[in-house]
Chain A
């Protein structure tokens, strides 16, 4: 069965620091990969997605992610975080039934 691992449970950064959140998935075939963000008290919103093509994908709010097939990784990055980026971030891989298989999430706290 497919699975997703997010290695950091809670990340604390100061504003303007760079961010990288790790995500690894287990499936070795064609994968569809996603990062979702959940701001406090809100529902999940799509940050970015990878289906095929350029392995460096850009999303909303200055986020980007790089798909590295050889490492089964899809890490999320942002060069300079803001206080408003405080949220929980979920990596997900597309399942065979159209569902999403989520990692356990990484909480990001940005100190002003």
Chain B
């Protein structure tokens, strides 16, 4: 059981370049999330997918797009990278509404992608 995996681990981009961050989970979870972590800011939600086929904006969606490719995979795309998008990106998954009170909030995190935009 790998849990939540993310690729790549590190990436350096030039301003204006595009890239896609990949995330996959093998826990049969319904919900998946993308966060960014910046020093002194904690983690902030970019986009989420409550279930396969749905995606919604989080707190900081500007400059990003997502695709829930199937139940396992949830990708994050930067169409035209900017230095303000330099950050560590974490993908997470959770069971979703499972009948267990509160359980749908418990999230499992991937190892992160450290992105630098020059």
Residues of A participating in the B interface, judged by any CB pair closer than 8 Å: 4, 9, 32, 34, 36, 42-46, 49, 51-52, 90, 94-95, 97-105
Contact = CB atoms under 8 A, between A and B. Distances in A.
A14 B101 CA distance: 38
Interface stretch (B14-22, B63-71, B105-113): B105-113
29 contacts: A4-B42, A32-B101, A32-B102, A32-B105, A32-B106, A34-B106, A43-B110, A43-B111, A43-B112, A45-B109, A49-B102, A51-B101, A51-B103, A90-B43, A94-B102, A95-B45, A97-B56, A98-B31, A98-B96, A98-B104, A99-B45, A99-B105, A100-B43, A101-B45, A102-B42, A102-B43, A103-B42, A104-B40, A104-B41
A9 B33 CA distance: 26
B109 A94 contact: no
A105 B75 CA distance: 26
A17 B40 CA distance: 25
Main secondary structure of the interface of A (DSSP, over half): loop
Contacts of B97: 98
Contacts of B48: 97-99
B106 A46 contact: yes
Ranked nearest first, the 10 interchain pairs of A and B with the lowest CB-CB distance are A94-B105, A51-B102, A32-B102, A102-B42, A104-B42, A44-B109, A32-B105, A102-B43, A43-B109, A43-B111
B50 interface: yes
B74 interface: no
Given A43-B90, A49-B102, A49-B106, A98 B50 contact: yes
B61 interface: no
Nearest to B48: A99
Contacts of A45: 109
B101 to A, nearest CB: 5
Contact of B50 (A97, A101, A102): A97
A98 B94 contact: yes
Contacts of B104: 94, 98
B66 to A, nearest CB: 14
A64 to B, nearest CB: 18
